[in-house]
Amino acid sequence: MDTRVPRISDAEWEVMKVLWSHSPLTANEVVKALEGSKEWNPKTVRTLIKRLVEKEAVACNPDGRNYLYEPLVREEECVRSETTSLLKRIYGGAMKPMLVNFLKDEQLTKEDIADLKAILEQRRE
Protein backbone atom coordinates (compact mmCIF):
# COMPACT_ATOMS: atom_id res chain seq x y z
CA MET A 1 0.00 0.00 0.00
CA ASP A 2 1.23 3.49 -0.82
CA THR A 3 2.11 5.02 2.55
CA ARG A 4 1.64 8.58 1.31
CA VAL A 5 -2.05 7.99 0.55
CA PRO A 6 -3.95 8.96 3.70
CA ARG A 7 -6.77 6.88 5.17
CA ILE A 8 -10.00 8.61 4.22
CA SER A 9 -13.29 8.03 6.06
CA ASP A 10 -16.54 7.39 4.21
CA ALA A 11 -17.74 10.95 4.88
CA GLU A 12 -14.41 12.43 3.76
CA TRP A 13 -14.64 10.29 0.63
CA GLU A 14 -17.83 12.19 -0.33
CA VAL A 15 -15.98 15.50 -0.09
CA MET A 16 -13.08 14.09 -2.10
CA LYS A 17 -15.44 12.96 -4.88
CA VAL A 18 -16.64 16.56 -5.22
CA LEU A 19 -13.08 17.87 -5.30
CA TRP A 20 -11.92 15.20 -7.77
CA SER A 21 -14.71 16.13 -10.17
CA HIS A 22 -14.42 19.93 -9.82
CA SER A 23 -11.51 21.77 -8.30
CA PRO A 24 -10.28 24.04 -7.01
CA LEU A 25 -13.39 24.94 -5.00
CA THR A 26 -14.19 27.11 -2.02
CA ALA A 27 -15.71 25.50 1.09
CA ASN A 28 -19.06 27.09 0.19
CA GLU A 29 -18.91 25.50 -3.27
CA VAL A 30 -18.23 22.09 -1.72
CA VAL A 31 -21.17 22.61 0.67
CA LYS A 32 -23.41 23.53 -2.26
CA ALA A 33 -22.27 20.51 -4.30
CA LEU A 34 -23.17 18.16 -1.43
CA GLU A 35 -26.53 19.80 -0.62
CA GLY A 36 -28.65 17.54 -2.78
CA SER A 37 -27.04 14.26 -1.78
CA LYS A 38 -26.15 14.74 1.90
CA GLU A 39 -28.10 16.16 4.82
CA TRP A 40 -24.99 17.66 6.39
CA ASN A 41 -24.91 21.17 7.74
CA PRO A 42 -22.19 23.48 6.36
CA LYS A 43 -20.13 23.20 9.57
CA THR A 44 -19.90 19.42 9.11
CA VAL A 45 -18.61 19.82 5.55
CA ARG A 46 -16.07 22.42 6.69
CA THR A 47 -14.88 20.04 9.42
CA LEU A 48 -14.43 17.26 6.85
CA ILE A 49 -12.46 19.62 4.60
CA LYS A 50 -10.27 20.65 7.56
CA ARG A 51 -9.55 16.99 8.36
CA LEU A 52 -8.60 16.31 4.74
CA VAL A 53 -6.21 19.28 4.80
CA GLU A 54 -4.66 17.97 8.05
CA LYS A 55 -4.25 14.54 6.44
CA GLU A 56 -2.57 16.21 3.45
CA ALA A 57 -5.19 14.79 1.10
CA VAL A 58 -6.34 18.31 0.17
CA ALA A 59 -4.45 21.56 -0.41
CA CYS A 60 -5.74 24.84 0.99
CA ASN A 61 -4.73 27.89 -1.05
CA PRO A 62 -5.66 31.49 -0.19
CA ASP A 63 -7.66 33.31 -2.86
CA GLY A 64 -8.56 36.79 -1.68
CA ARG A 65 -10.99 36.44 1.23
CA ASN A 66 -11.61 32.74 0.51
CA TYR A 67 -9.59 29.58 0.39
CA LEU A 68 -9.55 27.24 -2.57
CA TYR A 69 -9.35 23.51 -1.95
CA GLU A 70 -8.00 20.91 -4.33
CA PRO A 71 -6.97 17.27 -3.98
CA LEU A 72 -3.34 16.38 -3.38
CA VAL A 73 -3.98 12.70 -4.07
CA ARG A 74 -5.51 11.23 -7.19
CA GLU A 75 -8.72 9.27 -7.01
CA GLU A 76 -6.99 6.24 -8.55
CA GLU A 77 -4.38 6.26 -5.76
CA CYS A 78 -7.09 6.31 -3.08
CA VAL A 79 -9.10 3.57 -4.77
CA ARG A 80 -5.99 1.38 -5.04
CA SER A 81 -5.09 2.03 -1.40
CA GLU A 82 -8.63 1.21 -0.20
CA THR A 83 -8.75 -1.93 -2.33
CA THR A 84 -5.43 -3.14 -0.93
CA SER A 85 -6.60 -2.38 2.62
CA LEU A 86 -9.86 -4.30 2.09
CA LEU A 87 -8.03 -7.21 0.53
CA LYS A 88 -5.62 -7.47 3.48
CA ARG A 89 -8.27 -6.90 6.17
CA ILE A 90 -10.97 -9.25 4.89
CA TYR A 91 -9.17 -11.79 2.71
CA GLY A 92 -5.68 -11.88 4.21
CA GLY A 93 -4.29 -10.37 1.02
CA ALA A 94 -5.55 -13.19 -1.23
CA MET A 95 -7.19 -11.91 -4.40
CA LYS A 96 -8.85 -15.13 -5.58
CA PRO A 97 -11.27 -15.57 -2.63
CA MET A 98 -12.35 -11.95 -2.96
CA LEU A 99 -13.01 -12.29 -6.68
CA VAL A 100 -14.86 -15.58 -6.25
CA ASN A 101 -17.03 -14.07 -3.51
CA PHE A 102 -17.75 -10.98 -5.59
CA LEU A 103 -18.53 -12.91 -8.77
CA LYS A 104 -20.91 -15.31 -7.01
CA ASP A 105 -22.98 -12.50 -5.51
CA GLU A 106 -22.91 -9.96 -8.34
CA GLN A 107 -25.35 -9.88 -11.25
CA LEU A 108 -23.04 -9.55 -14.26
CA THR A 109 -24.14 -8.71 -17.78
CA LYS A 110 -22.66 -10.48 -20.79
CA GLU A 111 -20.67 -7.31 -21.44
CA ASP A 112 -19.30 -7.35 -17.87
CA ILE A 113 -18.22 -10.98 -18.31
CA ALA A 114 -16.57 -10.21 -21.65
CA ASP A 115 -14.68 -7.28 -20.07
CA LEU A 116 -13.50 -9.46 -17.19
CA LYS A 117 -12.35 -12.18 -19.60
CA ALA A 118 -10.40 -9.59 -21.60
CA ILE A 119 -8.71 -8.29 -18.44
CA LEU A 120 -7.77 -11.81 -17.36
CA GLU A 121 -6.47 -12.59 -20.84
CA GLN A 122 -4.27 -9.47 -20.76
CA ARG A 123 -2.93 -10.51 -17.34
CA ARG A 124 -2.02 -13.95 -18.65
CA GLU A 125 0.10 -12.42 -21.42
Query: CB within 8 A of 80, min separation 6: which ones?
Result: 2, 5
Per-residue pLDDT for 2 more than 50? Answer: no
What is the sign, positive or negative, of the torsion defined by CA atoms of 28, 33, 35, 40? Answer: negative
Q: How far apart are CA 82 and CA 4, in angstroms?
A: 13
Q: What is the pLDDT of residue 36?
A: 82
For residue 114, the one-letter residue type is A
Residue 3: pLDDT band (50, 70, 90) is low
Kindly report, residue by residue over 39-93, the tens digit of the pLDDT: 899 999 999 999 999 999 999 999 999 999 999 999 999 999 888 888 888 888 8
